[in-house]
Amino acid sequence: MTQHTLSAAQQLDANDRFAAYRNEFYIPEETIYMDGNSLGLLSKRAERTLYKLLESWKTLGIDGWTEGEHPWFYMSETIGEKMAPLVGGAAAEVIATGSTTTNLHQLVSTFYKPVGNKTKILADELNFPSDIYALKSQLRLKDYDADTHLIQVASRDGRFLDEDMIIEAMTEDVALIVLPAVLYRSGQVLDMEKLSKAANDRNIPIGFDLCHSVGSVEHSLHDWGADFAFWCTYKHLNGGPGSVGGLFIHEKNFGKAPGLAGWFGSKKEAQFDMDHTMDPAIDSGAYQIGTPHVLSLAPVIGSLEMFEELGMAAIRERSLKLTGYMLELIDQELSEAGFTIGNPLDETRGGHLLLEHAEAARICKALKKDGVIPDFRAPNGIRLAPVALYNTYEDIWHTVQKLKTIMNEKRYEQFENKRSVVA
């Protein structure tokens, strides 16, 4: 059992090789940032590569497409190659492009091929709403009733999913499976290997939303046999608000025509032939639709350098240590405060914790007033994310102490128990 004192927390930080990486980031003054699972902080490296790309535009003009340190024409592929180790994919299987939901639309358009009685899409009832909106709209585009053709596996407790229940729902009428890798509220990490094997055995294409897992947990998508995956880069990858997303296409699916075709999905050497018959890239590059968003890709280049240096195994190990330490402190200091732990207590938890409380919205407001940035999730969730690259044990110690004071003194009562427009 770890000693739960400030000096003990400071000693843990002093012995931690990650401590130097905190200096790579801009930490808001007099703030403990615990919301990196919603928006990661700006790093000095990301800032530097953004300025480099601005400079290439400034000095090279249109020649920036093929010249300079980071030629724009190839940026999506080169960043994809850097992201590939984070998801357990080969370089050709990963591309930096689009956004979470546009990439999902692209992938469903490609892999959802209803035939005969095999017409349904399998998802779950705890997934992030945007994914469900996209799946329903894709069903409507094919004139199917989303109420009957979207299967959403139920949760027994409103927090977690049971992989065996999901597998039981992989029936003969299912044409596609889309699931989260990490549940956005509870932080549960699904057994993607088990689910992929079950789907493969039943010849059902399966894909995963990695938005809350990429950069915080390890993946082996290629070895697991997942057909596809998609993710954002602005949470644990610290690419900046609205930064370009990513997608994975297993090499077994190379050559499959993308459902949504666009010019930048062409083979590089053929793109400027201007032929009206598309000659698509053979790999994940085929799934690009439009011109790369160069200035939104730029910060991701710098951010990924730190993931290359440290490796996902070390990042995951530190993440588990930080969340484990926070759970110990919560158990010791907040046992009488009326909180329920809403995340897994074992290593099936992702990079954030969930505290449930009837007064969650106003508690989050009180935390922000005291300099802690949390994240509220309706109806009663407080998400706290001690991020491996920049949060410290001391951050965690102070966060729990501030929360204890807020609860003991009922400071939250001065706020309305209602979320802000952006929660």
CATH number for domain 48-310, candidates 3.40.50.150, 3.10.20.740, 3.40.640.10, 3.30.1340.30: 3.40.640.10
Instruction: Determine if residue 397 is labeled as part of a ligand binding site.
Output: no
Mean pLDDT for all residues in the chain:
97
Q: Give which of 15, 42, 23, 40 is closest to 215, Cα–Cα.
A: 40
Q: Is the pLDDT of residue 225 over 50?
A: yes
Check for a shared fold between 6-42+311-412 and 48-310.
no
Q: Please state whether the peptide bond connecting residue 299 to the residue before it is cis, i.e. omega within 30 degrees of 0.
A: no
Residue 339's SS3 state is coil
Q: Give which of 392, 305, 299 is closest to 34, Cα–Cα.
A: 392
Please give the pLDDT value at position 366: 98
Q: Band the pLDDT of 417: cuts 50, 70, 90.
A: confident
What does the DSSP assignment read for 361-422? HHHHHHHHHTTEE-EEETTTEEEEB--TTT--HHHHHHHHHHHHHHHHTTGGGGS-SS--S-
Contact residues for 350 (Cβ-Cβ < 8 A; gap 6+): 182, 183, 187, 188, 189, 212, 213, 216, 217, 343
Instruction: Determine if residue 145 is labeled as part of a ligand binding site.
Output: no
Rounded to the nearest 10 degrees, the angle between the axes of helix 75-87 and helix 294-310 is 40
Per-residue pLDDT averaged across 297-325, rounded?
98
Per the rule left: phi > 0, alpha: psi between -120 and 50, beta: everything else, 171 is beta
Please give the pLDDT value at position 1: 47
pLDDT, tens digit, 9 for 90 and up, residues 358-389: 999 999 999 999 999 999 999 999 999 999 99
Quick one: CA dihedral 293, 180, 364, 378, positive or negative? positive
Per-residue pLDDT averaged across 153-178, rounded?
98
Q: Is the pLDDT of residue 309 over 60?
A: yes
Report the predicted TM-score, pTM, of the whole model to 2 decimal places: 0.96
Helices (H), 311-341: 312-333
Q: Band the pLDDT of 135: cuts 50, 70, 90.
A: very high
Q: Band the pLDDT of 66: cuts 50, 70, 90.
A: very high
Per-residue pLDDT averaged across 340-347, rounded?
97
In CATH terms, the fold of domain 6-42+311-412 is: Aspartate Aminotransferase, domain 1 (3.90.1150)
Per-residue pLDDT averaged across 332-337, rounded?
96
Please give the pLDDT value at position 357: 98
Instruction: Determine if residue 287 is labeled as part of a ligand binding site.
Output: no
Instruction: Determine if residue 13 is labeled as part of a ligand binding site.
Output: no
Per-residue pLDDT averaged across 152-161, rounded?
97
Instruction: Say if CB 277 and CB 96 are below 8 A apart.
Output: no
* 72 HSE (CA, 13 A, CB side): 20
pLDDT, tens digit, 9 for 90 and up, residues 235-270: 999 999 999 999 999 999 999 999 999 999 999 999
- Could you give the percent of the chain with pLDDT greater than 70? 99
Please give the pLDDT value at position 2: 59
Instruction: Determine if residue 234 is labeled as part of a ligand binding site.
Output: yes
Q: Is the pLDDT of residue 115 over 50?
A: yes
Instruction: Determine if residue 130 is labeled as part of a ligand binding site.
Output: yes
* 348 HSE (CA, 13 A, CB side): 15
Please give the pLDDT value at position 416: 87
- Could you give the percent of the chain with pLDDT greater than 90? 97
Per-residue pLDDT averaged across 32-46, rounded?
98
Instruction: Determine if residue 74 is labeled as part of a ligand binding site.
Output: no
pLDDT, tens digit, 9 for 90 and up, residues 322-333: 999 999 999 999
| Buried/exposed 329-346: b ≥16 CB within 10 Å, e otherwise | bbeebbeeeebebbbbee
Per-residue pLDDT averaged across 127-141, rounded?
98
Q: Is the pLDDT of residue 413 over 70?
A: yes
Please give the pLDDT value at position 420: 80
Instruction: Say if CB 344 and CB 376 are below 8 A apart.
Output: no
Instruction: Determine if residue 31 is labeled as part of a ligand binding site.
Output: no
Instruction: Determine if residue 101 is labeled as part of a ligand binding site.
Output: yes
Please give the pLDDT value at position 61: 98
Per-residue pLDDT averaged across 409-418, rounded?
92
Domain segments of the chain as ranges: 6-42+311-412, 48-310
Per-residue pLDDT averaged across 91-104, rounded?
98
Phi, psi of 345 (to 5 degrees): -90, -15
Per-residue pLDDT averaged across 193-202, rounded?
98
